[in-house]
Amino acid sequence: MKNTVVAAVCTAAMLLAANANGAADVESRVNELLAKMTLEEKIGQLSQSAGAPASMAAGLESQDMSKANPDDRLFAAVREGRIGSLIGRRGVKKYNELQRAAMSGRLGIPLLVGHDMIHSAKTCYPIPLALSCAWDEDLWERVGAAMAPESILQGCNWTFTPMVDVALDARWGRIAEGAGSDSLVTSLFGAAMVRGLQGEDMADGFHIAACAKHFVAYGAAMGGRDYNAVEMSDDTLRDVYLPPFRAAVEAGVATVMPAFHSFNGIPCSVNRYLLTDILRREFGFDGMTISDYAAVKECTVACHGVAEEGADVAAKALYAGMDMEMVSENYANGVAEALKKGLLKRETLDNAVRNILRVKFRLGLFDHPEIDEDAVSKKVDLAANLALARECAQKGVVVLKNDGVLPLKKESKIAVVGDLADDWKDMFGCWAGSGVSNSKDTKLIEGFKVDGACAKYSRCYNMDGKLDEKELRRAAGEADVVVAAFGEYSRENGENNSKVRIELNPVQLKVLDILAATKKPFVAVVFTGRPLAMPELARKANAVAVAWNLGSAAGLGIADVLLGEVEPWGRLTTDFPNASGECPKFYSRTTTGRPNGTYEQGPRWSTRYRDAPDKSVWPFGFGLAYTTFEYANESARVDGDKVVFSADVKNTGARKGTELVQVYVRDVLAETVRPRRQLKGFKRVALEPGETQKVEVEVPVASLGYTLNGKYRVEPGAFEAWIAPHSDVGRKIGFELK
Ligand code: BGC
């Protein structure tokens, strides 16, 4: 035993030394190369392009290339080292040709080729918001690992994911792209995705570079309106929005993408406080930053209005810490002039180039610039990936209401209605790329059939259009139970799809009324990329399941849950509000002077909206199983540098099931107002009927603090805690930090 430990220590020490040598080796190769580079070659490295850059037209005229086709111009630009990176998928053949062109240049510097493979390359996994409802770090890592080789086969070595923006506002369309409204959840799953995509060795030929985005606080856009300004205290930034980025950096993320918006008046793209003081100096990030799409240009007079185009904005962005410019060409056009005018120091330019080269070396591109298609193909098992997609889909479904109609019986006559129940494209969700178009696994109606259910489809209505009332009544009339699709099309969420109204539209409300009037039991399956305000559904449907956009195996995964082939697993990672006007509505809001529910003067004077209940329709952490659980003997005990939370959890129903035991904490007396509850840990437990298990969740004391005037502190004193099935219930217990 002793020997084993010694051996393990030796191995770890040797590994550390090897890594240190590897890092030193990379650094010396970076510096060696940098020393040989001309100014033009350095500027080339700073530019990411979608094709031949416009800025090179002048240079090409002399070579009689100005009339050449775009592809030839692109290859010429690559050979000349005018491009450091390309955006887009071009397939392996083109990728390899382009890398050969790059390597045949004077210094032979390979290209970074990036694309938005957010939750799919070939196989489509659930949108991140849906995947977060699985509360399963390991699953996120497995999805990342499966996506990496599929992405390589699309001709990429880099993806712009994970989005680790904490999103509190359901109006913001990009809430679909992240892991919901909690900082801890977003940190854990974002870091897991980075580990999956990049693997232990990013240079092994089967992994790709990840990109944590959008740095930072993009999810706090005022009014939930995309690209809008963000104003917030530095302490809130540090406690809520920065931790997921820190976690991604600690997981070794290769690249970070600053966000489009202005943060406290300064666009993130030129914000030195964010990009250098925090990201580089505090977090120790030594990868590269890549601007968002044309975001450097957007700092200029026509947009944000904080810089002139060309030299001015190039100097400001580089000084701030923006290494590479995506698609706009201010670096290409302005860096030389900025140097000449003294707006930009050589050292600043060199550091940006170093950061970019470092990522290229870490990816092993200098040693293996081309994709070994055969070897990578062997790593891609599409059937296994589809099985993984099915597991993700099953785990992403969240059952929100069930009066006993679920699980459905296979032999019941099930009427399936609504266009989204017979749709595969919308199951992929926003940023889906070219997901597998396998309708057998993707459409809900097909999923029911594959599972052997007696299901019959009739469209009856579109989500936002035609409703055939007669047909809907007929379909319901013939059936034992109705499964009806609700929600929004995937084109209604994602980037720049903010909404002022997140309620069900009039067509869907009408469908709901018709179904309720038939007195036939009906299950509402909600396809959406954001939490919707749908209290009517909570009242009128017999069962509600949110099925998001679950990807290639959406139909199968949903059917598996609705038919009870698997037990419901998903729990919400956002609140579902009563109405749009409540947004942002999130469980972890801070305490107020007149707390709702406990204020001594009663509800009339406590914080509230006159016309909506204080509670969310479905709160953060919520989700039903087909069995029930009871909590007893909740306790919290401080043990050195951790607090051990414990509860006896019993399965009180007749089916087996898994419960997600969640730990919430409130610092009772602090220097500043604290969240009324904040998630600090969770653990999943599988229980047979009647079984009880003691569940313990350990929480580091160091995670119980908050930031005051820029300094993180953990204060001694009293804390309240809840070990509970979701954020809105539980017996309050307490503990004290000395
Ligand atoms: C989005 C990014 C994305 C980039 C490149 C931008 O519009 O904000 O999330 O990575 O485009 O496609």
Q: Which residue has the CA at smallest separation from atom 11 of ligand 1? A: 293
Q: Which residue has the CA at smallest separation from atom 7 of ligand 1? A: 293
Cβ(290)–Cβ(326) under 8 Å?
Answer: yes
Concatenate the DSSP letters of all residues of 161-178 into one string.
Answer: --B------TTSGGGGGS
Give mean pLDDT, residues 101-121.
Answer: 97
Mutate to test the pocket of ligand 1, among 116, 214, 269 (most ligand atoms within 8 A of CB): 116
Tell me the C-alpha distance between 719 and 734, whole Å: 6
Mutate to test the pocket of ligand 1, among 228, 289, 292 (most ligand atoms within 8 A of CB): 292
Residues with CB under 6 A from ligand 1: 116, 160, 213, 292-293, 495
Q: What is the pLDDT of residues 316-348, one digit of tens each?
A: 999 999 999 999 999 999 999 999 999 999 999
Tokens of 416: 């399936």
Q: Which residues pair with 266 in a beta bridge?
A: 263
**pLDDT above 70 for 115:** yes
Give mean pLDDT, residues 355-376.
Answer: 98
Instruction: Tell how far the Cα of 473 is from the centroid of ligand 1, in angstroms.
Output: 44
Amino acid 340: pLDDT = 98
Instruction: Tell how far the Cα of 418 is from the centroid of ligand 1, in angstroms.
Output: 32
Helices (H) and strands (E) in the chain, counts: 23, 25
Instruction: Tell how far the Cα of 489 is from the centroid of ligand 1, in angstroms.
Output: 20
Nearest atom of ligand 1 to the alpha carbon of 160: 10
Q: What is the rounded end-to-end Cα distance, in angstroms, of the chain?
A: 38
Tell me the C-alpha distance between 522 and 540, whole Å: 9
> Rounded to two decimals, what is the model's pTM?
0.96
Amino acid 107: pLDDT = 97
**pLDDT above 60 for 15:** no
User: Sorting pLDDT into bands at 50, 70 and 90, what band is 12?
Assistant: very low
Q: Which residue has the CA at smallest separation from atom 6 of ligand 1? A: 293
Q: How far is CA 388 from the centre of its chain?
A: 18
Mutate to test the pocket of ligand 1, among 327, 495, 498 (most ligand atoms within 8 A of CB): 495
Give catalytic status of residue 403 as yes or no: no
Looking up tokens 């030389």, which residue turns up?
336
Concatenate the DSSP letters of all residues of 549-575 into one string.
Answer: ---TTHHHHHHHHHTTSS------SS-
Q: Which residue has the CA at smallest separation from atom 2 of ligand 1? A: 292
Residue 711 has a CB neighbour count (10 Å cut-off) of: 10
Please name which of 270, 378, 288 lies closest in space to residue 47, comparing C-alpha atoms.
288
Beta strands in 132-172 (DSSP E): 158-159
Angle between helices 330-340 and 311-320 (to 10 degrees): 90
Tokens of 484: 């009806």
Q: How far is CA 314 from CA 87, 94, 227, 358, in A?
A: 20, 31, 21, 21
Cβ(257)–Cβ(213) under 8 Å?
Answer: yes
Q: Is 702 exposed, middle or buried (0-12, 13-18, 19+ CB in 10 A)?
A: exposed
Concatenate the DSSP letters of all residues of 357-388 into one string.
Answer: HHHHHHTTTTT--S--HHHHHHH--HHHHHHH
**pLDDT above 70 for 208:** yes
Instruction: Tell how far the Cα of 115 is from the centroid of ligand 1, in angstroms.
Output: 9
Q: How far is CA 429 from the centre of its chain?
A: 13
**pLDDT above 60 for 80:** yes
Q: Is 185 exposed, middle or buried (0-12, 13-18, 19+ CB in 10 A)?
A: buried
Looking up tokens 């979701």, which residue turns up?
726
Instruction: Tell how far the Cα of 704 is from the centroid of ligand 1, in angstroms.
Output: 34
Q: Which residues, in sequence order, are CB contacts of 71 under 8 Å at separation 6+?
A: none
Q: Which residue has the CA at smallest separation from atom 5 of ligand 1? A: 293
Q: Is the dihedral of CA 531, 533, 535, 537 positive or negative?
A: negative
3-state secondary structure 404-423: CCCCCCCCCCEEEECHHHHC
Q: What is the pLDDT of residues 32-71, one digit of tens each?
A: 999 999 999 999 999 999 998 886 655 554 455 666 788 9
**pLDDT above 50 for 11:** no
Instruction: Tell how far the Cα of 214 is from the centroid of ligand 1, in angstroms.
Output: 9
Instruction: Tell how far the Cα of 449 is from the centroid of ligand 1, in angstroms.
Output: 38
Tell me the C-alpha distance between 694 and 646, whole Å: 7
Name the DSSP letter for residue 86: E
Q: Which residues pair with 456 in a beta bridge?
A: 415
Tell me the C-alpha distance between 626 and 523, whole Å: 14
Kindly report the CA angle at 66 between 63 and 68, in degrees rounded to 5? 95
The better pLDDT of the pair 2, 479 is held by 479
Looking up tokens 């030594």, which residue turns up?
286
With a pLDDT cut of 70, the percent of the chain lying above it is 95
Lowest average pLDDT, out of 4-8, 32-36, 624-628, goes to 4-8
Tell me the C-alpha distance between 465 and 473, whole Å: 17
Instruction: Tell how far the Cα of 424 is from the centroid of ligand 1, in angstroms.
Output: 24
Please name which of 257, 263, 270 lies closest in space to residue 343, comparing C-alpha atoms.
270
Tell me the C-alpha distance between 220 and 226, whole Å: 9
Specify the DSSP element, H or E, that contains 647: strand 642-651
Q: What is the pLDDT of residues 692-736, one digit of tens each?
A: 999 999 999 999 999 999 999 999 999 999 999 999 999 999 999
Q: Which residues, in sequence order, are CB contacts of 522 under 8 Å at separation 6+?
A: 405, 476, 481, 482, 483, 484, 515, 516, 541, 542, 543
Q: What is the pLDDT of residues 631-678, one digit of tens each?
A: 999 999 999 999 999 999 999 999 999 999 999 999 999 999 999 999
Please name which of 232, 204, 221 lies closest in space to residue 372, comparing C-alpha atoms.
204
Amino acid 6: pLDDT = 36
- Average pLDDT value for the chain: 94
Cβ(728)–Cβ(619) under 8 Å?
Answer: yes
With a pLDDT cut of 90, the percent of the chain lying above it is 91
Name the DSSP letter for residue 110: P
Q: Is 265 exposed, middle or buried (0-12, 13-18, 19+ CB in 10 A)?
A: exposed
**pLDDT above 70 for 4:** no
Mutate to test the pocket of ligand 1, among 48, 115, 158, 160 (most ligand atoms within 8 A of CB): 160
Q: What is the pLDDT of residues 378-416, one digit of tens each?
A: 999 999 999 999 999 999 999 999 999 999 999 999 999
DSSP 3-state of 325: strand
Q: Which residue has the CA at smallest separation from atom 12 of ligand 1? A: 116
Residue 256 has a CB neighbour count (10 Å cut-off) of: 27
Mutate to test the pocket of ligand 1, among 151, 256, 293 (most ligand atoms within 8 A of CB): 293
Nearest atom of ligand 1 to the alpha carbon of 214: 9
Instruction: Tell how far the Cα of 713 is from the centroid of ligand 1, in angstroms.
Output: 36
Cβ(555)–Cβ(420) under 8 Å?
Answer: no
Amino acid 10: pLDDT = 39
Cβ(203)–Cβ(362) under 8 Å?
Answer: yes
DSSP 3-state of 606: coil
The better pLDDT of the pair 689, 8 is held by 689
Q: Which residue has the CA at smallest separation from atom 8 of ligand 1? A: 292
The residue from 182, 292, 426, 451 that is catalytic is 292
Question: Cis before residue 261, ω within 30 degrees of 0?
Answer: no
